[in-house]
């Protein structure tokens, strides 16, 4: 199971806590200069925690939910 599927399951299970880490979200965060830095050898879970923190913060700042944020990423 890849990160996109795993994070999508988390989004479905707890949509107010977990955002999607997929190609559109990664591309959007990178283009917006919001992509977090990872340490060498950092676990995928730890990386996702950092990505999710950015997703949740962005969602809050935009006043939207994580589902809508995911849809917005497809438009970027």
**Of 74, 68, 75, nearest in space to 19 by CA:** 68
Tell me how far apart the terminal alpha carbons of the chain are, to the nearest angstrom: 26
Band the pLDDT of 75: cuts 50, 70, 90: confident
Structural domain boundaries of the chain?
3-29+40-75
Burial class of 7 by CB neighbour count within 10 A (0 to 12, 13 to 18, 19+): buried
What per-residue confidence (pLDDT) applies to 62? 95
The pTM of the full predicted model, rounded to 2 decimals, is: 0.92
Whole-number pLDDT of residue 44: 94
Whole-number average pLDDT of the chain? 94
Q: Using alpha carbons, select from 10, 46, 7 the residue that is nearest to residue 25.
A: 7
CA dist 47 and 61 (Å) reads: 21
Q: What is the pLDDT of residues 3-26, one digit of tens each?
A: 999 998 999 999 999 999 999 999
When pLDDT is averaged across residues 48-66 and rounded to a whole number, the result is: 97
């Amino acid at each position: 199971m890849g990160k996109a599927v795993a994070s999508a399951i988390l989004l479905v299970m707890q949509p107010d806590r977990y955002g999607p880490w997929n190609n559109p979200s990664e591309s959007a965060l990178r283009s917006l200069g919001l992509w977090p830095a990872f340490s060498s050898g950092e676990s995928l879970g730890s990386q996702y925690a950092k990505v999710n923190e950015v997703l949740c913060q962005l969602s809050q700042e935009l006043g939207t939910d994580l589902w809508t944020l995911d849809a917005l990423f497809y438009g970027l």
